[in-house]
């Protein structure tokens, strides 16, 4: 399960999506999230599904690798669907004791499940197609206007990118610790939820120690390379908006317009 988490991972490539300016990809990711919350009918999801599928095909990211990131949140998706199905008022279509499953509840449950799936799959493309260095530069450039009010743009961008990049590293470390504990007789699979949660406590201490050690090694490595923050820092690659970036922006704007119009459609 831990290895199925794809947040923070990067897949190198030379696709159209990989070559997009990181600033554009960050802004379009936010626009994609807004579009998901604009849509209020299934007809709007048809265009979102087509847009997401086209993006995946153009980015050349394997479908199996992309959708396995949904496994860690499978229980959240199921929990959300069940809550919407039984708590939304409407015409009862099935009853189990005091629990009523309504027609509007089922409709809303399917709608919310699709929204969560599109949200995870769509936003995962950002980190899967953007290297940590490019992501840092993109966030820093977007935060540059706030420097006038004292916001440390470079430092914030660096911290966010390092935190995002270390998610798969920490997950891999957690998996190694769990396997080492299981080899010594630890059991993480049996018992109720409370007992299984308690069994994870012995993992936290070595995980925190490993995290602090990695942070210290990273700080030493940055000092050894004379890293001194954003002031006076030069870049090998300068960010520049090109024709493909405008193409992606136009496509996203068209999707947003269609999503707004779809709110007035009957279905």
Q: Name the residue with tokens 């979102």.
A: 48
Contacts with 113 (C-beta within 8 Å, 6 or more apart), sequence order: 77, 80, 81
Helices (H), the chain: 22-38, 42-59, 63-67, 74-87, 103-128, 132-143, 153-183, 193-199, 201-224, 243-262
Residue 11, CA atoms < 13 Å, CB-side half-sphere: 17
Closest C-alpha to 25, from 263, 219, 247, 254: 247
pLDDT of residue 140: 80
pLDDT of residue 32: 94
Alpha-carbon gap, residue 211 to 26, rounded angstroms? 28
Total-model pTM: 0.77
3-state secondary structure of 99: strand
Alpha-carbon gap, residue 6 to 262, rounded angstroms? 32
Alpha-carbon gap, residue 89 to 162, rounded angstroms? 45
95 forms bridges with which residues in the sheet? 100
Maximum alpha-carbon separation in the chain: 68
Q: What is the pLDDT along the chain (267 residues), one digit of tens a residue?
A: 445 566 667 888 889 999 999 999 999 999 999 999 998 888 889 999 999 999 999 998 888 777 777 777 788 888 888 888 888 887 778 777 778 888 888 888 898 999 998 988 888 888 888 887 788 788 888 888 887 787 777 778 778 777 777 777 787 788 888 888 778 777 766 767 677 767 777 788 888 888 888 888 888 888 887 776 666 666 667 778 889 999 999 999 999 999 999 888 776
pLDDT of residue 27: 93
Sign of the alpha-carbon dihedral angle for 244, 246, 252, 257: negative
């Amino acid at each position: 399960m831990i290895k199925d988490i794809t947040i923070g991972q990067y897949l190198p490539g030379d696709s159209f999506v990989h070559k997009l300016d990181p600033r554009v990809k960050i802004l379009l990711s936010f626009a994609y999230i807004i579009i998901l919350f604009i849509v209020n009918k299934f007809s709007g999801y048809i265009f979102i599904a087509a847009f997401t599928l086209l993006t995946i095909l153009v980015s050349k990211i394997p479908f199996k690798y992309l959708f396995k990131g949904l496994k860690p949140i499978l229980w959240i998706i199921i929990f959300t669907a069940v809550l919407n199905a039984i708590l939304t008022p409407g015409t009862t279509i099935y009853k189990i004791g005091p629990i009523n499953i309504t027609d509007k509840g089922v409709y809303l449950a399917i709608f919310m499940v699709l929204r969560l799936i599109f949200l995870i799959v769509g936003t995962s493309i950002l980190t899967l197609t953007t290297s940590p260095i490019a992501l840092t530069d993109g966030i820093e450039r977007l935060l540059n206007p706030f420097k006038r009010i004292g916001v440390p743009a470079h430092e914030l961008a660096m911290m966010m990118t390092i935190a995002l990049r270390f998610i798969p590293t920490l997950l891999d470390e957690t998996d190694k610790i769990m396997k080492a504990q299981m080899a010594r007789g630890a059991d993480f699979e049996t018992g109720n939820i409370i007992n299984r949660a308690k069994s994870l406590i012995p993992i936290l201490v070595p995980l925190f120690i490993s995290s602090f050690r990695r942070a210290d090694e990273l700080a030493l490595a940055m000092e050894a390379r004379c890293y001194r923050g954003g002031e006076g820092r030069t870049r090998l690659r300068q960010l520049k908006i090109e024709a493909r970036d405008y193409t992606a922006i136009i496509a996203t704007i068209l999707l947003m317009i269609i999503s707004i119009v779809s709110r007035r459609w009957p279905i």
